[in-house]
Amino acid sequence: MKLNLYEDKNNTAEHVDVYYANMRPVIRQIIDSVNSERPSLQGRPADEDLDDGESVMLDPKDIYYLDHIDRKLFAYTRDGVFRLMNTLASCEEMLWNYGFVRVSKSNLINIYKIRQLKPDLNMKVYASFDNGERICINRSYKKSFNEYLQRMRRMS
């Protein structure tokens, strides 16, 4: 995508014009940024030894998947595991534009981070990520997962 930036010190009405062919996720992300609605996920390191009490801002693009365990939500990134204070349902709603889709009761995965989707011999389908972890795509979420992929393909 071509980006033009114009600096004008006298401009009193700063604005952004977006020319797009269709409303793709990347366009929605730009709109979110301009409207200051870009999802901000604040997390703290899940490892207590690394937790200094400071919250860390997480970019959705860096998250492989979200896991809900024992009523706690964790985000898995290349740099480690972070505990989030959001709910899985709110994250699902907030992050669908960013490639996140529900694949089980407790998992939301980032399709942009999937290295491979492959079934095991026992017919369970797993999404493998760059960090070597695998998340099972639950049978009852297969249809919605497929619909999500089709929608993202049409929009991209």
Q: Provide the binding-site residues for other proteins, judged by CB under 8 A.
A: 1, 24, 26, 99, 111-112, 114, 116-125, 138-140, 142, 145-146, 149-150, 152-153, 156
Least distance to other proteins, CB of residue 135, Å = 13
Least distance to other proteins, CB of residue 155, Å = 9
Which 3 state secondary structure label does DSSP give 96?
A: helix
- Name which of 9 and 143 has its Cβ closer to other proteins: 143
Helix (H) / strand (E) containing 146: helix 142-155
Least distance to other proteins, CB of residue 145, Å = 7
> How many other CB atoms sit within 10 Å of the CB of residue 129?
19
Cα distances (angstroms) measured from residue 67 to each of 11, 72, 116: 46, 8, 19
Q: How many helices (H) does the chain have, and how many strands (E)?
A: 3, 10
Q: Locate all alpha helices (DSSP H) within 13-103, ordered by sequence.
A: 25-34, 88-95
- Name which of 24 and 83 has its Cβ closer to other proteins: 24
- Name which of 81 and 152 has its Cβ closer to other proteins: 152
Least distance to other proteins, CB of residue 142, Å = 8
CB 135 within 8 A of CB 96: no
Q: What distance in Å separates the CA atoms of residue 82 and residue 110, rounded to the nearest whole number?
A: 16
Least distance to other proteins, CB of residue 121, Å = 7
Q: Which two tokens stand for residue 95?
A: 């992050």
- Name which of 47 and 105 has its Cβ closer to other proteins: 105
- Name which of 46 and 111 has its Cβ closer to other proteins: 111
